[in-house]
Amino acid sequence: MGLSKLKTGGKIYVEIHADRGDEVAQIFEHKGYHEIDIIHDLDKKERIVTARF
pLDDT at 45: 97
User: 17 φ, ψ to 5°?
Assistant: -70, 145
Number of domains in the chain: 1
Query: Which residues 6+ apart lie within 8 Å of 20 measured at CB?
Result: 46
Full-model pTM: 0.87
- The boundaries of the domain holding residue 6 are 2-52
Ordered per-residue pLDDT tens for the chain, 53 residues: 677 888 888 999 999 999 999 999 999 999 999 999 999 999 999 999 999 98
Residue-level pLDDT at 1: 62
